[in-house]
Structure 1
């Protein structure tokens, strides 16, 4: 997962509304979003190479999403970052405790940003933040890419602005519109690009919300909404090489009452 914009309003009719793009090499085998055969209460996409996930939710409302932290050189971790999501949604440890455990083991993963949610709230943690604090999120609209939460990269600012506008016009916003805004291929001027240690050519290619090429790009757009009655709506649009659209799927799932499992 490489770009997430989301609204967290825990006391509203729709506590969580989120739109996200997963960017990955097209050759990496992936299972489309669905319930997991080995964990029937877990719903999300699956990385078939390492067995983890970029975003998933349990029927009891435990939710997690991860993005990579871009850095050069990019050290290999002992474990796949997708395990951070899978371990949370298949486990029962309260969100804060789960992240506290990760604080003691940050060297086992390459750089990551992690969102986790349970009945106690929504939390953010990164093993590349200076103080590596666990951050409970207050009500607001946020953006997360391949740096720390709300780092003002052009594509994050652009996506968050358009997402905010969609939220202002309709609650809930139209899921189709959210998918479309995540398909934005605009590339900002070179002088606005961040310097993450890659070449200017690569930096430019990665600067758009939606990435398309022969070998690497946006593999899927996910839109999920959870209302105050624990009804989950999840829309998924897949993509092939060069950004060609593939399967589109829609799901409605009744979650259990908010409680720690």
Structure 2
């Protein structure tokens, strides 16, 4: 079995974006990562009052974060083996830098030099605006329209089987942040004729096709649910053990 070296955190996100509504965001996300890579569960960062996120204890960044002033961002990699600079900067720092910046999502993304990073997708938003960026094969930035969207390891709304399923699941999802942490729970792999061809070995293409991944030394580490209601943001996160069972659950209510 090949060991994969080209994955990065947060491999599946689905969200319902309705900026003019009182419930302006529902989101469910699975973070996939090597089991040996240390991470802290979602918490309020001591040096960043009002910033809530998990933390990658190896590089210091995060895969998804929210602030009390209604800024939020999330990151996935683009599965493109061998692409990117030889010594890339940490992609997890992008989420933190945006949340700390105080700038509008559009202005912050337009000023970003993406050449220092391995391939990534980035969502950066607040209550009123949401923007998407990727840097592979060429940098692209666009505003996200209202509606249900998915993001895995291709581009926004790429029709991978697990992403299409996620969109259908979100259309029926309850407005409950804890239940949103269980939304992306399919552990079955998809048939070979439905798999994308991303340059990884076929055995890994199969294992990575599941929404909830269990593979040798790698898998879904945590699942996050976000529900909003006017000025309140409700967060829930489940951390998963190496066996795919619940290890820890946390929840927070943020009020602007």
TM value normalised by structure 2: 0.92
Which secondary structure does the structure 2 equivalent of 1:219 belong to?
strand
Aligned to 2:72: 63
Deviation at 1:58, TM superposition (A): 1.7
Shift of 1:74: 4.2
CA distances 1:118-162 after superposition (whole Å, capped 9, x unpaired) = 3550110101154x3321111110000001000000110111111
Tell whether 2:133 aligns with 1:125.
yes
Work out whether residues 23 and 228 of structure 2, in 8 Å CA contact, stay in contact via their aligned partners in 1.
Answer: yes
Q: Secondary structure of the residue that 1:241 maps to in structure 2? A: coil
Structure 1 residue 235, shift from structure 2 partner: 1.0
Structural mapping, 1:1-261, within 5 Å = 1-75=10-84, 76-102=86-112, 105-118=113-126, 120-128=128-136, 130=138, 132-166=139-173, 170=174, 173-228=175-230, 230-254=231-255, 256=256
Whether the 8 Å CA contact 2:20–2:128 is kept in 1: the answer is no
Task: Call closer, same or farther: CA 1:234–1:119 in 2, change over 3 Å.
Answer: closer
Q: For the aligned residues, what is the CA RMSD?
A: 1.5
Give the 3-state SS of the residue equivalent to 2:101 in structure 1.
coil
2:180 and 2:188 mapped to 1: Cα distance? 16
8 Å CA contact retained: 2:122, 2:132: yes
Runs of 5+ consecutive residues of structure 1 not aligned to the other structure: 257-261
177-186 or 31-40, which moves further after superposition?
177-186
Partners of 1:118 and 1:226 in 2: CA distance: 12
DSSP 3-state at the match of 1:180: coil
Contact 2:19–2:127 (CA under 8 A) maintained in structure 1: no
- Whole-angstrom distance in 2 between the partners of 1:245 and 1:201: 26
Deviations 1:40-72 (A, max 9, x none): 221111111111110011221111110011012
